[in-house]
Amino acid sequence: MNYVYEYLKKMGYNINTEYYNKINNWIDIWKGEAPWLKVQTIDGDDYPMYSLNIAKRSCEDLSSMLTSENYDIKAAANDELLQQMIKDTNFLEQLSDNIEKIGYTGTIGTVVRIKNAKIIGDGEDAKLVKSGKTKTKVINLLANQIIPLRIEDNKFIDVAFVSEQIQDIDNKKVKLICLETHILKEKGYQISNIFFEKDTGNIMNLDNVLKTYNTLSCQPLFSIGKLPKLNPIENNMGLGIPIFGEAIDQLKILDLTYNNFGMDFKLGQKILLINQKLTRFEKYEDTDKDGNIVVKERIVYPQEIQKRLFTPIGDEMSQDGTQKPYIYEYNPDLRVGDNADGVQYSLDYYSFKIGYGTKYYSFSTSNGVTATEYIGNRQDLIANGNKNRKKIKEYLIGICKALLLSEKILGNSSIDETQAIEIPDVDNFLEDDGTVLERTQSEVAAGLMSLYTYLTKYKGLTEQEAIQEIELINNESTPIVKGEDE
């Protein structure tokens, strides 16, 4: 990758690469390979800690929350075309995975690429023309593949994307690194593709790829998605921070408490302690890691078959009652309740720190870790969930406009790539049905909502059914006045 940064440096961009080390560290944490889990014994042997890997679980839950309701997309002018492109590129089906990627890297980049188009002209005047094999694809890239080059008003203007490809060159499979730059010029975006041989860093010229072309539009062919959190890390280049980025200490404490929970069971076996007077030592030859023969000693127990059960202590027999007898049992206590409480407290602190509220996760020895179903009082979760969904909507709108622009580049000049793209808000997002019902009933009773709106919107009645229901309610509430003859 150094040759990529050197190439950008020649273009006038000095890239601070330190932040990418943090991104790679977050990816390791998501994989369950956090550095604090890699411990060793005093002999240098690997002795990994037990872990719940809650970092990945919280990213999965973020994805589940933000895709629990559909994103109904509608274009103002070219909706039929857009719906077909959404179907062809399949990007909504990829949304769940992309949100999880945002969760553990902080940022996702989606680039719209035109494949197998005819190229007319050369250099900056080159144009793309649709052929029978032309396809528009969306490519998703992680935060460590995104290099922001210029940001204005918190918006990504100029961006470079790095991806790996395999091409057939001279009848050989060659691994290539593609550097794709999107630079906003006076006439619109200029897109350039530079290929490096992965192993050597040599620039490769590919005949089937357009090196540079102008889109003639200020609308980018990419969209950047990230969480609505201000990144406190210096030199972040505008990239986002993962859902657990500010909760690393809480992750460490959680793994520590869960490891203690597991170790109590691992070490909680019965032990028979035996006086050394009842054992003997014998020497044997072994080979060390360098292949040298070394002489070692091992303990021989009264019954060799029970060597894993016996542990020697002391060197004197019990005479005056101050020492243990020749053999005695040790049965450790299993502190299941205390350890479970410790794990639960750690989960509460972690879920609070990532914005899910203090009681989002429930730990029990029978069911493991589960996300609690009741959402009613978890205002942190609902407030943050709505902010996150709003940010995802902006990301999706950017992809839709990029798709429309790709069709315009291929010759459909009637398309306005800046047209409005609507994704309606979802009422009562992340609230359970019981809470919604209770609140709406209170609003009807207080005169803040009409009975008609309540019946059609929250009870699912048709317009005619709602009118009939209101008539019945009004008739039942009308007092019956008895006549004089009755």
pLDDT above 90: percentage of residues in the chain: 46
Q: Which of 194-198, 376-380, 399-403, 430-434 has the highest mean pLDDT?
A: 399-403
Q: What is the pLDDT of residue 216?
A: 92
Confidence of residue 448 (pLDDT cuts 50, 70, 90): confident
The strand pair at 118-120 and 74-75 is best described as unpaired
pLDDT above 70: percentage of residues in the chain: 82
DSSP conformational letter for 456: I
R_g of the chain computed on alpha carbons: 33
Q: 91-100, 251-260, 426-435, 459-468: lowest mean pLDDT where?
A: 426-435
CB of 198 closer than 8 Å to CB of 164:
yes
d(CA 280, CA 232): 62
Calculate mean pLDDT across residues 349-360. Answer: 90
Calculate mean pLDDT across residues 308-325. Answer: 55
Q: What is the pLDDT of residue 270?
A: 61
pLDDT at 21 over 70: yes
Whether pTM exceeds 0.85: no
Question: Helix 54-66 crosses helix 336-353 at what angle (to 10 degrees)?
Answer: 50
Q: What is the pLDDT of residue 305?
A: 39
In this predicted model, which residue has the larger pLDDT, 391 or 210?
Answer: 391
For tokens 């479970």, the residue is: 340
Calculate mean pLDDT across residues 392-412. Answer: 95
Residue-by-residue DSSP string for 21-79: HHHHHHHHHHHT--GGG--B-TTS-B-PPP---HHHHHHHHHHHHHTSS----EESS-H
pLDDT at 432 over 90: no
In this predicted model, which residue has the larger pLDDT, 331 or 193?
Answer: 193
Note the pLDDT tens digit of each residue in 228-269.
999 999 999 999 999 999 999 999 999 999 888 777 766 666
In this predicted model, which residue has the larger pLDDT, 99 or 432?
Answer: 99
Q: What is the pLDDT of residue 292?
A: 86
pLDDT at 365 over 90: no
Q: What is the pLDDT of residue 486?
A: 46
CB of 129 closer than 8 Å to CB of 49:
no
Q: 13-27, 84-98, 446-460: lowest mean pLDDT where?
A: 446-460
Q: What is the pLDDT of residue 321?
A: 55
Mean pLDDT over the full length of the chain: 84
Q: What is the pLDDT of residue 307?
A: 47
CB of 250 closer than 8 Å to CB of 350:
yes
For tokens 């909507």, the residue is: 393
pLDDT at 309 over 80: no
Q: What is the pLDDT of residue 306?
A: 47
The backbone region for 379, taken as left when phi is positive above 0, alpha when psi lies in -120 to 50, beta otherwise, is alpha
Confidence of residue 470 (pLDDT cuts 50, 70, 90): confident
Q: What is the pLDDT of residue 150?
A: 95
Note the pLDDT tens digit of each residue in 158-199.
999 999 988 877 788 889 999 999 999 998 999 999 999 988
Q: What is the pLDDT of residue 251?
A: 96
Q: What is the pLDDT of residue 454?
A: 77
Note the pLDDT tens digit of each residue in 23-69.
999 999 999 999 998 887 666 677 788 899 999 999 999 999 999 88
Q: What is the pLDDT of residue 287?
A: 84
Note the pLDDT tens digit of each residue in 289-299.
788 888 888 77
